[in-house]
């Protein structure tokens, strides 16, 4: 993966940990940022008039009126659903299943697409400002979660509890779009 500083365009980038959060540090201009301009041959990138757009698939997992959210250690450092970029050769459904397994250790047994569209302003650590989302409501074969190194912790939250936590831009958008949050 090619990593480029968003400030000076240098390729001299190191990943650092600061206060248990992951950042990128440019060795040339000393810019410390949560995101970079990334050129990864694995993820699907679309060129738009406003820059690049990544294609993303994610899952809403519900149990007893609560939804599984993860507090990110990587940019954008907020609470999010299990989700990630579509890789070349994957369908959105397969990408979502892969991300759910990789990020929270759950196996998807049933999925229903509940939102498909662009979310502008959904900046990721790889430098895209727009993401084309495929968002699914899913059932899993198990409820015993694990945590990967992208997250500080994961937990189940009611819609009322979600009003008190720092939700990511796309997460808040999707919760409103699906009628879970009305604020």
Q: Are residues 98 and 169 in the same domain?
A: yes
SS3 content of the chain, % helix, strand, coil (to 5): 15, 45, 40
Residue 151 inside a domain? The answer is: yes
Here the CATH number for the domain that contains residue 86 is 3.90.79.10
Residue 101 inside a domain? The answer is: yes
- Residues 4 and 11: beta-carbon distance below 8 Å: yes
* Containing structural domain, residue 26: 2-39
pLDDT (tens digit per residue) in 32-54: 988 777 766 688 888 777 778 99
Q: Are residues 172 and 96 in the same domain?
A: yes
Q: Are residues 62 and 138 in the same domain?
A: yes
pLDDT (tens digit per residue) in 85-116: 999 999 999 999 999 999 999 999 999 999 99
pLDDT at 147: 83
SS3 35: coil
Q: Are residues 35 and 51 in the same domain?
A: no
Q: Look at the chain and report how many structural domains it folds into.
A: 2
Q: Report which of residues 83 and 40 the model is more confident about.
A: 83
pLDDT score of 183 more than 70: no
Mean predicted confidence (pLDDT) in 147-164: 93
Q: Are residues 14 and 52 in the same domain?
A: no
pLDDT at 44: 83
20 contact partners, CB below 8 Å, separation of at least 6? 73, 152
Q: Are residues 106 and 125 in the same domain?
A: yes
Q: How far apart are CA 174 and CA 133, in angstroms?
A: 10
pTM above 0.95, yes or no: no
């Amino acid at each position: 993966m090619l990593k480029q500083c968003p400030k000076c365009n240098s390729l001299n980038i190191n990943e650092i940990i600061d206060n248990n959060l992951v950042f990128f540090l440019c060795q040339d201009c000393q810019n410390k940022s949560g995101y970079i301009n990334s050129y990864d041959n694995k993820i699907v990138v679309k060129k738009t008039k406003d820059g690049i757009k990544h294609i993303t698939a994610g899952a809403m997992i519900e149990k007893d009126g609560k939804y599984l959210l993860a507090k990110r250690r990587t940019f954008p450092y907020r609470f999010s659903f299990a989700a990630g970029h579509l890789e070349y050769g994957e369908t959105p459904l397969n990408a979502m299943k892969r991300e759910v397994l990789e990020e929270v250790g759950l196996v998807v047994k049933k999925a229903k697409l509940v939102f498909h569209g662009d979310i502008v302003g959904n900046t990721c650590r790889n430098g895209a400002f727009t993401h084309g989302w495929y968002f699914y409501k899913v059932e899993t074969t198990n409820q015993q979660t694990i945590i990967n190194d992208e997250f500080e912790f994961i937990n189940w939250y009611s819609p009322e509890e979600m009003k008190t936590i720092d939700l990511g831009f796309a997460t808040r958008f999707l919760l409103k779009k699906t009628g879970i949050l009305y604020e």
